[in-house]
């Protein structure tokens, strides 16, 4: 019994052990890796994909998927900039309330898109893999339509604080990542909705027969990931001080791969927010390490692709077991 329990615990925490091993390896082989500035840089770099990964974990656990998050990041950055530009007119320094309006409009738009994705799944029966693929193209087109294919620079001088500012020496995006983690962790582990998410993902028919509103549960998850993606777009617009339709291309693959690496089952019903965080941090540390080791960007893509493929195989193997 003890050996079986130990094997179960090792499987459950295998990714964390691999992450720790990677940390030790890089600490001894990459100069400057363990500095505080570099560790904060890793956390800042994973802030946006991390918060989206938390939302994506909920979506996949509930038995769905959303491929439109990368385009949502881009269109959110562009929409925020566009609203600020149109609302402020010819003002040299847009007032704070114009920025607040842009952020509010963007978050409302993202919430609607998330709800609409859920409604398509419920009313039309289109698998979210297909509907979100279509939404990905639609949102990418909207980002280019809003900006005419070029960046909109309409933000005030203080706007950089959201993406590049620091509080007590820690980048602001890291705080936003922490808030997203706490919110989704508590939701998944300590609420009725969280229990419903796992129940629906594990067996949708059994969940329905037990009285769970399965479509409400799915739509809430779709809305959450859309809102997190929009928040990521706002952060990126602050980092580059503009709304650019070309940002976050391929981010959906980065997010989904991190979630899978973190142990969330593609079949739904299994996984955790903590696992998603470990997966995102693993990729962040690996990318940082490869940069310090001098890997060129193309080699980094090959390594990341191989890791994703390996994670998918492991995921399928565990589900069969």
What CATH number did the domain enclosing 264 receive?
Answer: 1.10.3470
Tell me what pLDDT residue 1 has: 46
Task: Tell me whether strands 170-171 and 166-167 are parallel, antiparallel or unpaired.
Answer: antiparallel
Asked if residue 56 is part of any domain, the answer here is: yes
C-alpha angle 5-6-12 in degrees, rounded to nearest 5: 90
Asked if residue 219 is part of any domain, the answer here is: yes
Asked if residue 299 is part of any domain, the answer here is: yes
Domain extent at residue 276: 14-320
Asked if residue 2 is part of any domain, the answer here is: no
By percentage, how much of the chain surpasses pLDDT 90? 70
User: Predicted confidence band at 151 (pLDDT cuts at 50, 70, 90)?
Assistant: very high
Asked if residue 3 is part of any domain, the answer here is: no
Please indicate whether residue 284 or residue 298 has the higher confidence score (pLDDT). 284
Residue 10 has pLDDT above 70, yes or no: no
Burial of 23 (0-12, 13-18, 19+ CB in 10 A): middle
Burial of 81 (0-12, 13-18, 19+ CB in 10 A): buried
Which helix or strand (DSSP H or E) is residue 234 part of?
helix 214-240
Tell me what pLDDT residue 116 has: 95
Q: What is the pLDDT of residues 187-233, one digit of tens each?
A: 999 999 999 999 999 999 999 999 999 999 999 999 999 999 999 99
Tell me what pLDDT residue 186 has: 98
Asked if residue 159 is part of any domain, the answer here is: yes
**pTM score:** 0.92
Question: What is the total count of domains within the chain?
Answer: 1
């Amino acid at each position: 019994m003890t050996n079986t329990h130990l094997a179960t615990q090792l499987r459950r925490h295998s990714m964390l052990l691999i992450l720790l091993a990677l940390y030790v390896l890089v600490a001894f082989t990459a100069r400057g890796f363990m500095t505080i500035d570099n560790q904060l840089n890793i956390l800042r770099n994973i802030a946006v994909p991390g918060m989206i990964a938390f939302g994506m974990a909920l979506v996949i656990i509930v038995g769905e998927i959303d491929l439109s998050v990368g385009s949502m990041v881009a269109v959110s950055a562009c929409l925020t900039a566009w609203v600020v530009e149109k609302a402020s007119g010819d003002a040299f320094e847009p007032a704070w309330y114009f920025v607040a309006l842009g952020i509010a409009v963007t978050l409302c738009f993202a919430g609607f898109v998330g709800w609409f994705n859920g409604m398509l799944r419920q009313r039309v029966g289109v698998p979210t893999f297909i509907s979100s693929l279509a939404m990905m193209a639609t949102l990418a087109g909207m980002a280019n339509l809003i900006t005419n294919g070029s960046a909109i620079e309409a933000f005030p001088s203080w706007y950089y604080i959201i993406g590049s500012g620091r509080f007590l020496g820690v980048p602001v995006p890291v705080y936003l990542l922490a808030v997203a983690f706490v919110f989704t962790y508590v939701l998944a582990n300590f609420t009725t909705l969280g229990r419903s998410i796992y129940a629906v993902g594990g067996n949708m028919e059994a969940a329905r027969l037990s009285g769970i509103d399965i479509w409400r549960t799915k739509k809430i998850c779709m809305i959450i990931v859309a809102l997190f993606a929009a928040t990521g777009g706002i952060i990126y617009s602050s980092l580059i001080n503009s709304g650019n339709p070309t940002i976050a291309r391929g981010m959906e693959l980065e997010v989904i791969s991190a979630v899978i690496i973190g142990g969330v089952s593609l079949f739904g019903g299994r996984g955790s927010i903590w696992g998603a965080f470990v997966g995102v941090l693993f990729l962040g540390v690996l990318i940082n390490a490869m940069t310090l080791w001098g890997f060129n960007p193309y080699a980094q893509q090959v390594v990341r692709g191989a890791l994703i493929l390996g994670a998918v195989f492991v995921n399928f193997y565990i589900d069969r077991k």
